[in-house]
Amino acid sequence: QVQLQESGPGLVKPSETLSLTCSVSGGSISNYYWTWIRQPPGKGLEWIGFIYDNGSPNYNASLKSRLFMSLDTSKNQFSLTLTSVTAADTAIYYCARPFRRGQVAAFDLWGPGTMVTVSS
């Protein structure tokens, strides 16, 4: 059974860089649009972006200038880097996988989420 697990620091200082990793266990990372989604406390969901295993990313336009995603097939992991963070980036960050291989689709597999707080 495939599982996702986010990892990274729970606290980041303003203006610094946030880095998170999603580890994929129980299955291959190949041929899926691996995705990051976030949720500020008490608010709704925001799509951050996805990366495919050919390395092609697609980012939310509002975050594009600060965002970088990568994928490591040898480690079965994918990562998110967000620069110049502010309090507005405080959120639960989820990694997720669409239910169809090789296609953009709805997400049937989610990690449990990791809370990131931006504060000095």
Partner 1 sequence: DIQMTQSPSTLSASVGDRVTITCRASQSISNWLAWYQQKPGKAPKLLIYEASTLHSGVPTRFSGSGSGTEFTLTISSLQPDDFATYYCQQYNGYSFGGGTKVEI
Query: Which residue is associated with the tokens 């691996």?
Result: 34
- Does 105 participate in binding partner 1 (rule CB under 8 A)? yes
Per-residue contact string for residues 56-85; x = within reach of partner 1 by CB under 8 A = ----xx------------------------
- Does 88 participate in binding partner 1 (rule CB under 8 A)? no
- Does 52 participate in binding partner 1 (rule CB under 8 A)? no
Rounded to 5°, angle at Cα 73 from 69 and 78: 30
| Token pair listed for 85 | 């963070």
Contacts of 24 (CB under 8 A, 6+ apart): 2, 3, 4, 34, 76, 77, 78, 97
- Does 93 participate in binding partner 1 (rule CB under 8 A)? no
Q: CA nearest 38: which of 95, 87, 86?
A: 95
Q: Which stretch binds partner 1 (CB under 8 A): 15-23, 63-71, 75-83, 110-118?
A: 110-118
- Does 2 participate in binding partner 1 (rule CB under 8 A)? no
Instruction: List residues bridging with 13 in a β-sheet.
Output: none
- Does 99 participate in binding partner 1 (rule CB under 8 A)? yes
- Does 55 participate in binding partner 1 (rule CB under 8 A)? no
